[in-house]
Amino acid sequence: METAASVTANSTQTTLVLNVSGILKSVCLLPVVVIFLYFIILMLHTFCSEASFRDSTRYRLFAHMLVTDTILLTVSVTLLLFIVMKMKIPATVCYIVIIISGVNFLNTPLNLATMSLERYIAICFPLRHAELCRVERLWIAIFVNLMLAILPYVMDFYFLLNYKQITVFSQTVSCNREAVIFTSAQATLLALTYAIYFILVGTTILYTYIKIMLASRKVTTNKASVLKARKTVTLHAVQLVLCLGAFAYPLLETFLNRVHDWLRENLSYVNFYIFMLFPRFLSPLIYGLRDETFRSYMKRYMPCYSSKIAPTVGSK
């Protein structure tokens, strides 16, 4: 009886420690998320409030990136909180949520490539920029990016349909990407998708940067605009590197699965913070705050700033 009582007491104490740990992690995470969402909402409000931004292809792509990153972060943080608090959800719901997260994860680098191409056309083909990059045509690029992001998950679902033990979807799981990978084909597809997409995006950004750099040497007028475009594409490359940093997340998670439960849970939290959360926080903030025109307009909507500023949107 004493042994049974001792085991029960130890189990209760362990559960209490895990609950306290989960609460502390949540308390550390949520303020950062709230601050980030505040800036995102402020940027989107600035974009929607000014016709000059709404009529610009470049700023519309930026707004699309903000929405994509916000969806991804909201879903990722929610899943992390579920894991930290030891909450399980139906495997079917988990799979749908993972698809939403994965599609937005792939959409970000595709959007960066599109933004780089827009700057390339603006500098290297200025006479055709208004025709090729009309706001009315932007939905085509966004739709193509969305279809490219969805395609790997359509194939993933096909592999899943051919999985004999499809009844696993009736179970509840601690939701993460590994929880809905049941075949080696799924794992291979995921790795190939990441590699192919990011190589294509990296090549696109490198190509546009080189072309803009070469164009800057030939231009004798409006060099300031060319220099800004080159800096913008360079920033897209930095953003891509930040996105690539997120690939370290699943790799480290695979390694952490082999270590002790307590150590794995805490290192997984730090891993998520550094390689998944931080890049998504930093990327839109850097891009939005470095833009002088956008930043000056954004100040107008901050509660602590009341001065009237009315700059004009110039060429970038």
**What residues form DSSP beta bridges with 173?**
89
Token duo for residue 282: 């930093």
Percent of the chain at pLDDT > 70 equals 72
Say which CATH topology domain 9-300 has.
Answer: Rhopdopsin 7-helix transmembrane proteins (1.20.1070)
- Range with top average pLDDT, 143-157, 170-184, 231-245: 143-157
Q: How far is CA 255 from the centre of its chain?
A: 23
pLDDT of the residue at 160: 82
User: Does residue 270 register a pLDDT over 70?
Assistant: yes
Q: What is the mean pLDDT of residues 253-266?
A: 59
pLDDT of the residue at 22: 65
Place 148 in a pLDDT band, splitting at 50, 70 and 90: very high
pLDDT of the residue at 264: 60
Mean pLDDT (the chain, rounded): 76
Token duo for residue 47: 């974009």
User: Does residue 182 register a pLDDT over 70?
Assistant: yes
pLDDT of the residue at 225: 67
List of long-range contacts for 43-49, beta carbons under 8 Å, 24+ apart: 43/284, 43/288, 43/294, 43/298, 45/301, 46/294, 46/297, 46/298, 46/300, 46/301, 49/301
Query: Containing H/E element for 55?
Result: none
pLDDT of the residue at 199: 84
SS3 call for 162 = coil
pLDDT of the residue at 220: 60
Q: What is the mean pLDDT of residues 53-68?
A: 88
User: Does residue 147 register a pLDDT over 90?
Assistant: yes
Exposure of 273 in the CB half-sphere (CA atoms within 13 A): 13
Place 313 in a pLDDT band, splitting at 50, 70 and 90: very low
Is there a contact between 238 and 115 (Cβ–Cβ < 8 Å)? no
pLDDT of the residue at 314: 47
Q: Could you give the CA distance from residue 66 to residue 52 in angstroms, rounded to a whole number? A: 18
User: Does residue 67 register a pLDDT over 80?
Assistant: yes
Between residues 206 and 154, the one the model is more confident about: 154
Is there a contact between 227 and 213 (Cβ–Cβ < 8 Å)? no
Q: Could you give the CA distance from residue 234 to residue 305 in angstroms, rounded to a whole number? A: 31
User: Does residue 226 register a pLDDT over 70?
Assistant: no
**What residues form DSSP beta bridges with 198?**
none
Please report, as a single letter, which amino acid is at residue 119: R
pLDDT of the residue at 149: 93
Using the CB atoms, write b or e for 265-289: b if 16+ within 10 Å. Answer: bebbbebbbebbbebbbebbeebbe
Q: Could you give the CA distance from residue 228 to residue 234 in angstroms, rounded to a whole number? A: 10
Q: What is the mean pLDDT of residues 40-56?
A: 87
User: Does residue 12 register a pLDDT over 60?
Assistant: no
| Residues whose CB is less than 8 angstroms from the CB of residue 302 and which lie 6 or more positions away in sequence, other chains included | 42
Place 131 in a pLDDT band, splitting at 50, 70 and 90: confident
User: Does residue 316 register a pLDDT over 50?
Assistant: no
pLDDT of the residue at 133: 86
Is there a contact between 180 and 95 (Cβ–Cβ < 8 Å)? yes
Query: What are the backbone dihedrals phi and psi of residue 194, each rounded to the nearest 5 degrees, phi first?
Result: -60, -45
pLDDT of the residue at 315: 43
Query: Containing H/E element for 172?
Result: strand 172-173
User: Does residue 190 register a pLDDT over 70?
Assistant: yes
Place 152 in a pLDDT band, splitting at 50, 70 and 90: very high
